[in-house]
Amino acid sequence: MPPPLIAVTGRRRSAAGLHSGPPALDALEIDAYFTGYATHVAAAGGLPLHVPRDTDAGAVMDRADALLLTGGNDVDPARYGAVPDAHTSALEPARDAAEVALLAAARERGCPVLAICRGIQLVNVAWGGTLHLHLPEHADTRWHDVTLAPGSVLAGLHGTAARVNSLHHQGVDRVASGLAVTATAPDGQVEGLEADGLVAVQWHPEQLDDVPQPEFRWLVGAARPGPP
């Protein structure tokens, strides 16, 4: 059988400073994601497929076997009834909309979803939850421990505790209905959420040294079976 096709989301940026061509290219935009996502997917036996935001979500998930929601800037606070503050990073409403559509399409088709950092926040908001606008104590902490709920997918991957990297300044506040908290930081901050076929983490497994990380092995292993 061919390797499962894993749809990987990314971000859109100005090309200025990111190319070696003539200055006229500065006016263009690029779609990109950090290479660790694809590296871990491929190492786990999946075939990573970068999905630009201009694609039809249903058509993508008709072909893909699983979805990976990657990290990035803040989810638009307007999506959960909040107002941006001084700490809010550059917003990408078009990315929010595209990823919410991909998430819905994946769930409708029974495709497993792994959501990382911004991804866990987007999942919670898309399902009706809210976010903390700024968590300075987490933004300034590079590593910390998390406690994992017994019986959860994450506990099955890591045991009841793990040491993770912390690269976020926002986080889950009110947890959406239908999502179970399966990982917490020592201060009680939500670090993992799960639902049937969905695992979301606040940390960045794609940046850790052991390749592939267990979350990616779970995603590829759970991917919807494709044609022979």
Taken in order of first residue, the domains within the chain and their CATH numbers are 5-222 (3.40.50.880)
- Give start and end residues of each alpha helix (H) in 48-134: 57-63, 93-108, 118-126
Asked if the model's pLDDT at residue 30 lies above 90, the reply is: no
Which pLDDT tens digit goes with each residue over 122-181? 999 999 999 999 888 777 678 999 999 999 999 999 999 999 998 889 999 999 999 999
Is residue 185 within 8 Å of residue 191, measured between CB atoms?
yes
Calculate Rg over the CA atoms of the chain: 17
Select which of 92, 191, 194, 206 is catalytic.
206
Q: Does residue 199 have a pLDDT over 60?
A: yes
Active site residue 111: no
Of residues 75, 50, 68, the one with CA closest to residue 168: 75
* pLDDT over threshold 60, residue 34: yes
From 117, 138, 194, 215, active-site residue: 117
Identify whether the C-beta of residue 93 lies closer than 8 Å to the C-beta of residue 110: no
Q: What is the percent of the chain with per-residue pLDDT over 70, rounded to a whole number?
A: 97
Of 26-30, 53-57, 69-73, the least confident: 26-30
> Pairing mode, if any, of strands 131-132 and 143-148?
unpaired
Give the helix/strand (H/E) hosting 50.
strand 47-51
Q: What pLDDT score does 120 carry?
A: 98
Secondary structure element (H or E) that encloses residue 51, with its range: strand 47-51
Q: How does the average pLDDT of the chain come out, rounded?
A: 94
- The 3-state secondary structure of 130-145, one letter per residue: CEECCCHHHHCCCEEE
Query: Could you report how far apart the first and last alpha carbons of the chain are, in Å?
Result: 5
Say whether 206 is catalytic.
Answer: yes
| 3-class DSSP assignment, residue 147 | strand
204 among known catalytic residues: yes
- Active-site option among 40, 158, 168, 204: 204
The interaxial angle of helices 35-43 and 214-222, nearest 10 deg, is: 60
Q: How confident is the model at residue 121 (pLDDT cuts 50, 70, 90)?
A: very high
Matching residue, tokens 């996502």? 37
